[in-house]
Structure 1
Amino acid sequence: MALPWALAVLSLLPLLDAQSPACPNFSVPITNASLDQISGKWFYIASAFRFPEYKKEASKIHAVFFYFTPNHTEDTILLREYITVGDQCLYNSSSLKVQGEIGTLSTSENDREYYEHLLLPKDPKTFMLASFPEDKQYMGLSIFADKPEATPEQMQQFYDYLTCMGMDKSEVIYSDEKKNLCLPLEKQHDEERKKEKERFESGTELD
């Protein structure tokens, strides 16, 4: 499933006036603190894409939640994602590469490398991913939150960034948590990991 993932830390620019939303800086280096902030479980909330491939994939998806586990020494992030498409749940585990100096994160699929930028708003309970931010024909923006639904304030920041990039609210595709079919699989995986941990600890004690 070709969902875009990639990162680069956000620095907010001051508002020029009351009618002009703050634009993010897409080229801030990624730090360990940045990666720690996005570690854990997240939910896909909404996105807007002009890149045809991203737009096509996003339109098929009902719900997504995933786990980020950064590895600071290897400049990677373990991604475990649960995607509801139609009437099925798809699970995927992959490794994302962190290009810290240029502020991007990438993943490889079908011999292609996909890059995006991480935007960290003031609210630490959300983050956004921007693709091709300088290209009006291919740009895109997605928002993620630590809960299945974002607050009006969180969504407003997303809309402000869309406006700043030159995109329109009418281009947004939203997730639908009510159609999430992956919770049973997540529970199964949690139980399997718990049993593996118990077996490991038991074996260690015997040694």
Structure 2
Amino acid sequence: MAMAGVAAVLSLAVLLPTAACPCGALRPQHPGNTTASKLLGTWLYVAGAAQFPQHLLEMLLIDHGHLHVEPRAGEQELLITQHVAVGDQCLTNNSTYFEITIGNTTLVKHAKTQQTVGTLMNLSSEDILLIQYQLQRERTYLGLYLYARNLSVSTAHREEFEHHAKRLGLSEEEIVYAPWETELCQTKEIEKGNSPRTEPTAASPPLGTHQPGSVGN
């Protein structure tokens, strides 16, 4: 599979602008003046859910990943540098950034085209991020991605992510948790001696579904 295709799983940089999702379950985040400082730093990729079949298959190839957020052009724009481990490669993408609007909605925008490709959604904790993307093809496909400050994500936060996914029309079969079995894309936030592996949950992909050789370009 092409490098650009894998990186698109997390950044979805090829997304076209679409109308707001008609589902009223998720609300754009309206965090307040300290949003920028709260978003800075490293976020670990925990799970994703996607309707587009190619993105769903690509997520099965990802062992782990993280994104690093840093100032871009002031407090309103924050650069997103993303890393994903696929096979024996750690792929990097920095084509998107967070923009905090006047109304304090946090958008994900493409760095070159300035098009909005996603929205940061409200959650119950400042230690997790939930980003909703939309992809317009023959119909509108939705994607939902969960990041956290560390991989000790509580059952309540996992259930919250799965609840939001369900309300967007994403089924349990369209949710993939990153296994974190290798250490290709290292992060400073993972302390020495601590394993970055997530605890298994009922919603994790069953054994045998992670088969990189079965997916083509």
TM bucket (normalised to shorter chain) is 0.5 to 0.7
Equivalent-residue separation in structure 1 for 2:87 and 2:32 (angstroms): 37
Equivalent-residue separation in structure 1 for 2:106 and 2:163 (angstroms): 22
Partner AA of 1:150 in structure 2? V
Contact 1:96–1:107, Cα closer than 8 Å, also in 2: yes
Equivalent-residue separation in structure 1 for 2:34 and 2:75 (angstroms): 15
Equivalent-residue separation in structure 2 for 1:41 and 1:47 (angstroms): 17
2:166 maps to 163
Name the larger-Rg structure.
1
Deviation at 1:48, TM superposition (A): 0.7
User: Any idea what the Cα deviations from partners look like across 1:92-128, whole Å, max 9, x if unmatched?
Assistant: 445515262564221257x795610101311111010
Contact 1:126–1:143, Cα closer than 8 Å, also in 2: yes
Contact 1:61–1:84, Cα closer than 8 Å, also in 2: yes
Matched, 1:138 2:145: no
Matched, 1:4 2:5: no
Contact 1:96–1:106, Cα closer than 8 Å, also in 2: yes
Which has more helix, going by share of residues? 1
Equivalent-residue separation in structure 1 for 2:40 and 2:12 (angstroms): 14
Inter-CA distance 58–114: structure 2 relative to 1 (3 Å threshold): farther
Identity of aligned residues (%): 22
Aligned length: 168
Q: CA RMSD in A?
A: 3.3
Contact 1:45–1:149, Cα closer than 8 Å, also in 2: no
Equivalent-residue separation in structure 2 for 1:149 and 1:55 (angstroms): 24
Equivalent-residue separation in structure 2 for 1:112 and 1:54 (angstroms): 23
Inter-CA distance 106–112: structure 2 relative to 1 (3 Å threshold): closer
Equivalent-residue separation in structure 1 for 2:97 and 2:54 (angstroms): 19
1:126 maps to 128
Q: Which runs of 5+ in 1 are unaligned?
A: 7-21, 188-207
1:58 maps to 59
Equivalent-residue separation in structure 2 for 1:56 and 1:75 (angstroms): 34
Contact 2:11–2:82, Cα closer than 8 Å, also in 1: no
Equivalent-residue separation in structure 1 for 2:164 and 2:110 (angstroms): 24
Q: Which runs of 5+ in 2 are unaligned?
A: 1-6, 14-23, 189-217
1:86 maps to 87
The TM-score normalised by the length of structure 1 is 0.66
Deviation at 1:43, TM superposition (A): 0.4
Please give the residue correspondences for 1:127-206 in structure 2 after superposition, counting only pairs within 5 Å. 127-132=129-134, 137-183=140-186
Deviation at 1:147, TM superposition (A): 0.7
